[in-house]
Amino acid sequence: MDAYTEAHLFVAAIRVLQHQGGSPPKLEDVCTMIRISVELGHVICRRLEKLKVIETFEDPFSIKLAVAHHLEIENIPKKVKEENSLARELEKFKAEKKNVEQKVATIQAEIAKKRQDMFADIEAKFKREIEKQKKEKR
């Protein structure tokens, strides 16, 4: 998931939990709602707090979250899905592999032709030798 979509999801979870509970939700509750780890939640929380999208309130036992300037989410760049770049890299790899396979096939064909020519030369030499020996015996 890209940072833009992640931010929207995180802020939406904060709003829903704040509406349901009537007070700012805990970070753990937001993470549970959107099914991410608390560690990843801390990362997203710090990123959004740095961008001033959310505010955090810390007490000795938890971190509570509130939406501050939700429109700042629109300043987060939208990235192209990584699957597309992965697919492009895979296609590039396949093309390179096919290119190498073609080169190997060309080299093997050249070796086979050289081998055939060599055997033809050897056969011709043997035939000349046999003909030469037959002439000497006569």
Instruction: Give pLDDT tens digits for 3-39.
Output: 889 999 999 999 999 999 999 999 999 999 999 999 9
Round to whole Å and give the CA distance between 76 and 86. 22
Which of 75, 102, 122 terminates a domain? The answer is 75
Into how many domains does the chain fold? 2
- For residues 50 and 65, state if they share a domain: yes
Q: What is the pLDDT of residue 81?
A: 57
pLDDT tens sequence across 122-138:
999 999 999 988 888 86
3-state secondary structure of 16: helix
Clarify whether residues 135 and 94 are in a common domain: yes
The answer to which of 9-13, 50-54, 77-81 has the lowest mean pLDDT is: 77-81
- Considering the domain architecture, whether residues 70 and 86 belong to the same structural domain is answered as no
The answer to whether residues 91 and 50 belong to one domain is: no
Q: Tell whether 54 and 71 lie within a shared domain.
A: yes
Do 56 and 99 lie in a common domain?
A: no
| 38-50 vs 3-21: helix crossing angle, rounded to 10 | 100
Pairing of strands 63-67, 54-58: antiparallel
Nearest to 55 by CA among 28, 76, 25: 25
